[in-house]
């Protein structure tokens, strides 16, 4: 059976790897010259930069609850990993370093908020423990969207029954748990920030399951965070190897313009230039809005277009990629978080900045004596400010400089003389995000609020068409999109092959 996957994001590559392992003939069509979608890396003047994700966890060991680790195990591929546990924070309360794990954050709370805040945090940890256990009771690798799930997910029924009374709470917003435990403003702001980084929404819109999964991963004994040696490209390359070794094909610079529908069934894709590729199943790893652009309007009910088209979306990004002279710079962390003002709200434009300096861990990302830096505002840059602008205009160039100032200011907290050290300076805008990632309006992803809407899963009303990626499964990060790809592949596979895979990776 032939399968075509539209897009080589982590969701699409995860799906491709598993389908190839299951014995399907897989072709991945990617518009860009580089695979990886939002997780791709690029090289410029001797520096290697990540375009998107910079925070990884649960990937350097097996078995792991991280769906992406499960995909890597299923396809028999891996990266070399560096580990760390500390990052820097520049928050309204003060500047400090913090670590994953349960205890160190209590020291921060004691310093800035006192004993009452420490007690609240410890109580939250106690309350979250059973939810964390419930969130990982059934691994994503066991899920499929058909009746075969009775056998695959049913293997874990005893564990699920044990946590039965907690599962219902996980489908609602995390705030329904948090608000009953936490009153300290700093802890509330901190948790809203973590929720925003997980889903693009604060605690009242982020599903409790996503946060519970984070607690299960970040607050276990001896936890470390991970970074792939070689950057995000190393992780993407591992996934590509996973399906190419089973005769899968990756077609770069192959932009899909239309899904071909015949007799009310998806039967292939038409590429820019007119070439047609045929398959038994088409899987779109494009966003929900971009997928709708590919489906002929008369092939599915108008209600489908209307409902999916109304999916709320997060805002876009500003990016700053820098190559700098690192002489005499000491004691740098790999990551920093900057928040200007909690009162504005964590989703406010120009309020939250993330700084990644991965060459602190992996010197191969920059020339000797240099550092590669990626600074970005995650999902809080309004696309409307940029819509319709000419990228070559003076107005656009001036706005780039002006909107990048918040990132420079945050970075000056870490390296005060950063502007004089720059050898490479690249500024990305929502238009950059839209152009290179084929993201509608440069969006960070869907903003479906927990408790008020459900992610649609991989199935569609058009026979032969399935979907994966951040538009189909809760959460925007790598674990969520890897889970989406894995679930789509499992749904296609026979139950026997699925169970065989499970026995090896879980």
The residues spanned by each domain of the chain are 2-35+66-76+232-312+449-505, 100-139+149-219
> Which DSSP helix (H) or strand (E) runs through 504?
helix 495-505
Report the pLDDT value the prediction gives residue 495, as an integer from 0 to 100.
96
Name the residue among 16, 11, 10 with its Cα closest to residue 279: 16
Beta bridge partners of 6: 29, 284
Q: Which residues of 121-153 are buried (b: 16+ CB within 10 A; e: fewer)?
A: beebbebbeebbbbbbbbbbbbbbbeebbeebb
R_g of the chain, CA atoms, integer Å: 22
pLDDT digits (tens, 9 = 90+) for 162-188: 776 777 778 889 999 999 899 999 999
pLDDT digits (tens, 9 = 90+) for 11-53: 999 999 999 999 999 999 999 999 999 899 999 999 999 998 7
CA gap 485, 9 in Å, rounded: 10
Q: What CATH superfamily classification does 2-35+66-76+232-312+449-505 receive?
A: FAD/NAD(P)-binding domain (3.50.50.60)
DSSP assignments along 371-416, one per residue:
EEEEEEEEEEE-GGGTTT--TTSHHHHHHHHHHHHHHHHHHHHH-T
Report the pLDDT value the prediction gives residue 450, as an integer from 0 to 100.
87
Tell me which residues of the chain have a pLDDT lower than 70.
Answer: 102, 164
Which residue, chain included where needed, has tokens 């913090």?
A: 98
Report the pLDDT value the prediction gives residue 162, as an integer from 0 to 100.
75
Report the pLDDT value the prediction gives residue 471, as an integer from 0 to 100.
86
370: tokens are 């240099």
Please, are residues 239 and 71 in contact by the beta-carbon 8 Å criterion? yes
Q: Which residues contact 159 (CB under 8 A, 6 or more apart)?
A: 137, 138
Angle 296-297-303 (CA atoms, 0-180°, nearest 5)? Answer: 135
49: tokens are 């930069």
The reported pTM is: 0.94
């Amino acid at each position: 059976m032939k399968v075509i996957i539209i897009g080589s994001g982590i969701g699409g590559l995860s799906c491709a790897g598993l389908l190839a392992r299951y014995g399907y003939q897989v072709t991945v069509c990617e518009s860009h010259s580089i695979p990886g979608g939002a997780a791709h890396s690029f090289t410029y003047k001797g520096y290697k930069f990540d375009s998107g994700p910079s925070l990884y966890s649960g990937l350097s060991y097996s078995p792991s609850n991280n769906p992406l680790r499960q995909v890597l195990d299923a396809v028999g591929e891996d990266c070399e990993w560096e580990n760390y546990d500390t990052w820097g924070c520049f928050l309204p309360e003060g500047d400090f370093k913090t670590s994953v794990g349960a205890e160190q954050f209590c020291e921060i709370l004691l310093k800035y908020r006192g004993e009452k805040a420490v007690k609240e945090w410890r109580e939250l940890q106690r309350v979250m423990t059973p939810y964390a256990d419930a969130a990982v009771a059934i691994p994503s690798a066991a899920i499929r969207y058909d009746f075969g799930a009775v056998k695959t997910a049913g293997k874990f029924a005893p564990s699920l029954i044990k946590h039965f009374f907690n599962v219902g709470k996980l489908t609602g917003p995390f705030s329904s748990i948090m608000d009953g435990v936490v009153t300290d403003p700093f802890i509330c702001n901190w948790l809203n920030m973590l929720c925003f980084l997980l889903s693009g929404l604060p605690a009242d819109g982020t599903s409790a399951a996503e946060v519970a999964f984070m607690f299960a991963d970040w607050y276990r004994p001896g936890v470390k965070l991970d970074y792939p040696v070689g950057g995000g490209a190393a992780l993407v390359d591992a996934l590509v190897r996973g399906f190419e070794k089973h005769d899968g094909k990756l077609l770069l610079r192959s932009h899909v313009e239309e899904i071909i529908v015949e007799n009310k069934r998806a039967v292939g894709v038409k590429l820019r230039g007119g070439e047609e590729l045929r398959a038994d199943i088409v899987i779109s790893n494009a966003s929900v809005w971009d997928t709708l652009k590919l489906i002929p309007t008369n092939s599915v009910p108008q209600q489908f277009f209307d409902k999916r088209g109304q999916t709320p979306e997060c805002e876009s990004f500003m990016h700053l990629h820098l190559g700098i002279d690192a002489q005499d710079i000491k004691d740098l962390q790999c990551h920093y978080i900057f928040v200007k003002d909690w009162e504005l709200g964590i989703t406010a434009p120009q309020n939250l900045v993330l700084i990644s300096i991965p060459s602190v861990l992996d010197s191969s990302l920059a020339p000797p004596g240099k550092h590669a830096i990626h600074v970005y505002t995650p999902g809080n840059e309004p696309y409307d400010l940029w819509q319709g602008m000419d990228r070559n205009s003076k107005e656009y160039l001036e706005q780039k400089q002006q909107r990048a100032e918040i990132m420079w200011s945050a970075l000056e907290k870490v390296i005060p003389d950063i502007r004089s050290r720059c050898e490479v300076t690249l500024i990305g805008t929502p238009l950059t995000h839209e152009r290179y990632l084929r993201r509608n309006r440069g969006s960070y992803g869907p903003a479906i609020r927990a408790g008020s809407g459900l992610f649609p899963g991989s199935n569609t009303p058009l026979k032969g068409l399935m979907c994966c990626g951040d538009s189909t499964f809760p959460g925007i990060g790598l674990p969520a999109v890897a889970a989406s790809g894995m679930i789509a592949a499992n749904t296609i596979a026979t139950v026997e092959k699925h169970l065989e895979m499970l026995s090896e990776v879980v």
